[in-house]
């Protein structure tokens, strides 16, 4: 039965496990190196043994040729198996272990040979080179087979060439020497192969543990899935090495941090600069679900160390959630203001009803006039000093909430802000946060009072919020502007520690400053200075037309505006 091609490939292909593949590849490499090393060693060894054999044959031939008696016998006797030349040549052959020692005359006739029948016969190879006076070393085939040969000329007493001497060493003996060395060589090669196999096995076991015995295809698939997952999730991932350099940023992390691919390989300080975000990602600030602000985004960071000394940090964008939380706080503030007004209105209606039932009509008329006048006076006082509709609506609403909480909210006599604010919503956020913090600070304290001073100095807006609360200790006046720091219980929608940080960021974004100190008579005093916060006076009409339509809807919700999250 034939085997289908897919089945044949599965049967004859490499194993799937990384351990087995690495082991086989390393064994193949070790075996190949051993064979190559053996071949590289045997090739020069064979040439070296051949060279030694030819030089030995040449040395025996030269020693034989120096025997003057042989040259003399060659000139005065005939070639014979019992002649003096044959006897001397055989003696030398037996003494040296050569295969043959042949003495020839100028015609190439043998005067000696291992085989007596060859004496008197011509030599099988050309003697012209030796008879011409030159020495010869070669490996050739003659009547006795293949041998290493040495040929030299034979001189008489007058130094005339009278013949030649040829000495041969059997090639088989040279090959035998080479073969004799092979077992020892293979023993060394086998030992090296065994050591290589052991090392390959140990390395493969380590690779097996590190790869959890997965196949290469599985590892490739995992890497592809990891890349797709990292760049597809809606959570920022930042991987750091042991020295704090960024080695991975997914797409969401690049978006949240405002970084690009060029940040990979750089340290956090170089890529992000100094700040809380850098401290959180670097592990200098510890904890879980740490809040930090990057640009206009509120981020929640968590950091997990890795086994290699690095770390992986995750980032979640809570900007929208914080905005929803602030909108919820605004709604709650509005509800509180409406509840306070409803409560106050109910009391006034009850009073009015009592006056009418008692038929005290004149007193009822006077009471209604006083109530309407007080409410109108409060709104008129605010709008007279603060001409921006958003800020005026905010403070009117805050005054109602403060009254409900038993806190006196005052506008300073020095307060005056024209309707020339460049960024009214940003200023509303700053004022709302600081007023809410002050109301929280003086809650449940006797003679609670909060004073707001907001004035213009040319194009600079100066805001001061004073309270009669416990104040801020000198050692914590810088700390309260740190992201995530708060002494309050977290609200239902998330964590605190953002409000004052946002106040500082909004002020710094406009080139301003924010500071906290001690108010006169005790309590805290926050001061915000915003240069270029007001437009030129010539732009008042244009700005009034722009802000007019926006004032209506904004005023309805400004009572609860204030991102009161950070705090002392």
**pLDDT tens per residue across span 270-311:** 888 887 788 888 888 888 878 777 776 778 888 989 888 889
Both 407 and 482 in one domain: the answer is yes
At 568, the pLDDT band (50, 70, 90 cuts) reads very low
Both 389 and 259 in one domain: the answer is no
pLDDT at 389: 85
Query: Domain range for residue 338?
Result: 321-560
Residue 286 lies in a domain: yes
Is residue 77 pLDDT above 50, yes or no? Answer: yes
Q: Which residue has the tokens 């020295």?
A: 243
Distance CA 539, CA 535 (A): 7
Is residue 356 pLDDT above 60, yes or no? Answer: yes
- Per DSSP, helices labelled H in 212-360 are 216-232, 251-257, 268-272, 276-282, 319-357
Range 82-102 average pLDDT: 89
Distance CA 139, CA 53 (A): 9
At 36, the pLDDT band (50, 70, 90 cuts) reads confident
Both 400 and 542 in one domain: the answer is yes
CATH of the domain at 139: 3.30.450.20
Range 452-471 average pLDDT: 89
Nearest Cα neighbor of 132 from 156, 111, 163 is 163
Global model pTM greater than 0.75: no
Nearest Cα neighbor of 451 from 441, 459, 460 is 441
Both 365 and 447 in one domain: the answer is yes
At 494, the pLDDT band (50, 70, 90 cuts) reads very low
Of 299, 317, 335, which residue constitutes the final position of a domain? 317
Range 73-85 average pLDDT: 87
Residue 217 lies in a domain: no
Lowest mean pLDDT among 189-193, 480-484, 527-531, 534-538: 480-484
At 153, the pLDDT band (50, 70, 90 cuts) reads very high
Is residue 408 pLDDT above 50, yes or no? Answer: yes
Range 27-45 average pLDDT: 70
Both 351 and 256 in one domain: the answer is no
Number of structural domains, the chain? 3
Of 256, 287, 317, which residue constitutes the final position of a domain? 317
Distance CA 58, CA 305 (A): 78
Both 525 and 488 in one domain: the answer is yes
Lowest mean pLDDT among 46-50, 264-268, 398-402, 481-485: 481-485
In the chain, what percentage of residues exceed pLDDT 70?
69
pLDDT at 165: 93
Both 147 and 246 in one domain: the answer is no
Lowest mean pLDDT among 39-43, 130-134, 242-246, 492-496: 492-496
Quick one: how many helices (H) and strands (E) in the chain? Answer: 16, 14
Both 394 and 260 in one domain: the answer is no
Residue 190 lies in a domain: no
Residue 216 lies in a domain: no
CATH of the domain at 526: 3.30.565.10
Residue 566 lies in a domain: no
Nearest Cα neighbor of 490 from 380, 564, 396 is 564
Residue 121 lies in a domain: yes
Instruction: Give the contacts of 353 (CB within 8 A, at least 6 positions apart).
Output: none
Distance CA 88, CA 78 (A): 14
CB atoms within 10 A of CB 298: 25
pLDDT at 179: 66
Both 460 and 334 in one domain: the answer is yes
Determine the Cα angle at 103 with ends 97 and 107, to 5°.
155
Do the beta carbons of residue 161 and residue 153 sit within 8 Å?
yes
Answer with the residue of higher pLDDT: 561 or 406.
406
Residue 8 lies in a domain: no
Of 146, 177, 208, which residue constitutes the final position of a domain? 177
Buried b (16+ CB within 10 A) or exposed e, 546-564: ebeeebeebbebbbbbbbb
In the chain, what percentage of residues exceed pLDDT 90?
6
Is residue 268 pLDDT above 80, yes or no? Answer: yes
- Per DSSP, helices labelled H in 153-237 are 171-211, 216-232
Lowest mean pLDDT among 118-127, 330-339, 512-521: 330-339
Range 512-524 average pLDDT: 86
Distance CA 254, CA 503 (A): 26
Written as six digits, the tokens of 281 are 């990602």
Is residue 350 pLDDT above 80, yes or no? Answer: no
pLDDT at 489: 46
pLDDT at 551: 34
Both 298 and 361 in one domain: the answer is no
Both 74 and 166 in one domain: the answer is yes
Residue 98 lies in a domain: yes
Instruction: Give the contacts of 240 (CB within 8 A, at least 6 positions apart).
Output: 246, 247, 268, 281, 282, 310, 311, 312, 313
Pairing mode, strands 311-317 and 524-530: unpaired
Range 449-465 average pLDDT: 90
Both 346 and 478 in one domain: the answer is yes
């Amino acid at each position: 039965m034939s085997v289908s091609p897919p089945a044949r490939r599965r049967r004859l292909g490499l194993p799937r496990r990384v351990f087995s593949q690495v082991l086989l590849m390393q064994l193949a490499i070790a075996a190949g190196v051993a064979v190559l090393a053996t071949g590289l060693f045997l090739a020069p060894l064979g040439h070296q043994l051949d060279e030694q054999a030819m030089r030995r044959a040449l040395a025996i031939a030269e020693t034989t040729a120096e025997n003057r008696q042989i040259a003399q016998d060659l000139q005065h006797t005939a070639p014979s198996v019992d002649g003096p030349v044959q006897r001397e040549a055989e003696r030398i052959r037996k003494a040296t272990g050569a295969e043959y020692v042949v003495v020839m005359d100028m015609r190439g006739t043998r005067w000696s040979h291992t085989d007596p029948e060859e004496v008197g016969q011509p030599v099988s190879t050309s003697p012209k080179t030796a008879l011409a006076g030159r020495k010869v070393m070669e490996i050739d085939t003659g009547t006795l087979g293949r041998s290493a040969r040495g040929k030299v000329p034979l001189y008489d007493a007058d130094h005339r060439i009278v013949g030649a001497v040829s000495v041969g060493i059997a090639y088989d003996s040279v090959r035998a020497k080479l073969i004799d060395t092979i077992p020892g060589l293979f023993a060394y090669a086998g030992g090296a192969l065994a050591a290589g196999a052991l090392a390959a096995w140990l390395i493969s076991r380590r690779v097996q543990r590190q790869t959890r015995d997965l196949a290469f295809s599985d590892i490739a698939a995992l890497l592809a899935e990891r890349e797709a997952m990292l760049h597809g999730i809606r959570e920022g991932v930042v991987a750091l090495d042991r020295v704090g350099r960024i080695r991975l940023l997914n797409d969401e992390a690049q978006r949240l941090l405002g970084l690009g691919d060029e940040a990979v390989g750089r340290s956090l300080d170089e890529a992000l600069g100094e700040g809380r975000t850098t401290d959180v990602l670097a592990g200098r600030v510890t904890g879980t679900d740490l809040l930090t602000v990057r640009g206009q985004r509120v981020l929640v960071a968590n950091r997990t160390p890795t086994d290699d000394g690095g770390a992986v940090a995750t980032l979640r964008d809570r900007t929208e959630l914080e905005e929803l939380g602030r909108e919820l706080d605004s709604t709650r503030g509005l509800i509180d203001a409406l509840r306070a007004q409803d409560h106050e209105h109910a009391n006034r209606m009850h009073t009015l009803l009592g006056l009418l039932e008692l038929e005290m009509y004149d007193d009822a008329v006077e009471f209604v006039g006083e109530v309407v006048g007080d409410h109108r006076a409060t709104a008129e006082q605010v709008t007279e000093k603060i001409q921006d509709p958003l800020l005026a609506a905010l403070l009117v609403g805050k005054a109602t909430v403060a009254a409900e909480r038993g806190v006196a909210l005052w506008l300073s006599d020095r307060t005056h802000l024209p309707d020339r604010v460049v960024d009214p919503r940003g200023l509303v956020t700053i004022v709302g946060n600081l007023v809410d913090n002050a109301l929280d600070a003086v809650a449940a304290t006797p003679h609670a009072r909060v004073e707001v001073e907001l004035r213009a100095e040319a194009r600079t807006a100066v805001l001061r919020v004073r309270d009669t609360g416990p104040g801020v200790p000198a050692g914590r006046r810088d700390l309260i502007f740190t992201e995530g720091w708060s002494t309050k219980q977290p609200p239902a929608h998330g964590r605190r520690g953002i409000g004052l940080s946002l106040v500082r960021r909004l002020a710094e974004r406009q080139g301003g400053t924010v500071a906290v100190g001690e108010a006169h008579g005790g309590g805290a005093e926050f001061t915000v200075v915003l240069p270029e916060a007001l437009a030129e006076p010539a732009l008042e009409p244009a700005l009034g037309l722009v802000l007019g339509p926006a004032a209506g809807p904004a005023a309805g919700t400004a009572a609860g505006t204030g991102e009161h999250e950070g705090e002392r």
